[in-house]
Amino acid sequence: MSITQKMIALLLGTTALALTKVNAVEKPEAKEPLAKTDAAAPAAKPAPLFPDPVIVKGKGLEIKRSQLDEVATGLKATMAARGQNVTGEQAALFEKQLLERLIQIQLLLTKATDADKAKGLEAGEKRFVTFKSRAPSEEMLARQLKSMGMTVEQLHGRLIEEATGEAVLARELKSKITVTDEQVKKYHDENPAQFEEPEKVRASHILIGTRDPNTGTELSEEKKKEKKKQTEDILKRAKAGEDFAKLAKEFSEDPGSKDKGGEYIFPRGQMVPEFETTAFALKTNEISGVVTTQFGYHIIKLSEKIPARKVPLAEVAKEVKEGLTQQEVQKQMPEYFEKLKKEANVEVLDEKLKVRDTPAAVEKSADKPAIK
């Protein structure tokens, strides 16, 4: 987890759902948030039908009600898509927390140097490209984001803002924190459960989808029969000894794996049941028959079974050090943001949105660093 992900998780939470839907094999609930350009002046807009009051003001900072409504709508849509209902009391609390994070993001952006902005632009662009590459199509990505109250352009801008905020925090806080090798080893020794890796398999698959890639709707029965026949023909070629990776690159409709020859490495509980059961039951280098899931027809080849193990320190030392550093950053963030708010004379103008709790209660640090 990056150093500002916890802070902006609610702001960019609406984008997480998009990521979970673009992978054609993972469970829908599996867990894996605009640069300004020179352009002609836009045409004058008509007066808004409803007022858009300023709800927060400060030196170099202003937040309007519409900005809060935008992120709140996205969060509610994401939760609704996951089957989670939001009560009136929860909605009020979410709004306060979201506003606090909007303030924090704006404060970080006011502190950004040209170097921070350059780093943020570069990192944000890379993240945006990753989002687009994982989607079945740009139209599908736009449709998914629209259902969560966000446009592709807004996603683009938020990713750049997130990365810019990270650059500021890295310069202002992270660069001043030192984690020793002794601390890293101590954490690894005292938290063995965090470094236990379950049994995994390395398997490749070819997916012939039974859903429209643009709308996500089921194909007709006639089209499904054609797709199954195509899958059976590819299976014959794979069983006859043709290169499985080449067949996957040519025919697979899973955008998350086809460029890698269809390969995934995963433990139990990550993939849909039909896919997982088949993959773990195969013998090394064995090819399955046609496996049907909610996504379509699969042909699976098992390449390797990886036994459970405890990951040695040498393999995770860098991650542990980064996690311990992030933990220290999290501890310092409440005081840091209080300082920034005082310097900018930040004032919440809507009484209903004022946070009565202390910053530490709102932005409580985790007891343990985020180590994979």
Chunked into runs of 10 residues, the chain (372 residues) has average pLDDT values of 37 35 37 35 50 90 88 78 77 88 92 96 94 80 80 90 93 94 97 95 96 86 96 97 97 92 95 96 97 96 97 96 94 94 93 66 44 45
Pair 151, 159: CB distance under 8 Å: no
Q: How far is CA 38 from CA 41, 42, 43, 45, 122, in A?
A: 9, 11, 15, 19, 18
User: What three-state secondary structure class fits 131?
Assistant: helix
The one-letter code for the residue type at 52 is D
The whole-number pLDDT of residue 253 equals 94
The whole-number pLDDT of residue 48 equals 55
Can you tell me the distance from the alpha carbon of 152 to that of 128, in angstroms, rounded to the nearest whole number?
9
Q: Which residues 6+ apart lie within 8 Å of 180 measured at CB? A: none
- Residue among 225, 152, 195 at smallest CA distance from 372: 195
Can you tell me the distance from the alpha carbon of 71 to that of 119, in angstroms, rounded to the nearest whole number?
24
The whole-number pLDDT of residue 41 equals 39
Which residue ranges form the domains of the chain, and what is each CATH number? 5-35+52-182+313-362 (1.10.4030.10), 199-307 (3.10.50.40)
Can you tell me the distance from the alpha carbon of 73 to that of 14, in angstroms, rounded to the nearest whole number?
9
Can you tell me the distance from the alpha carbon of 368 to that of 223, in angstroms, rounded to the nearest whole number?
51
The whole-number pLDDT of residue 21 equals 32
The whole-number pLDDT of residue 363 equals 43
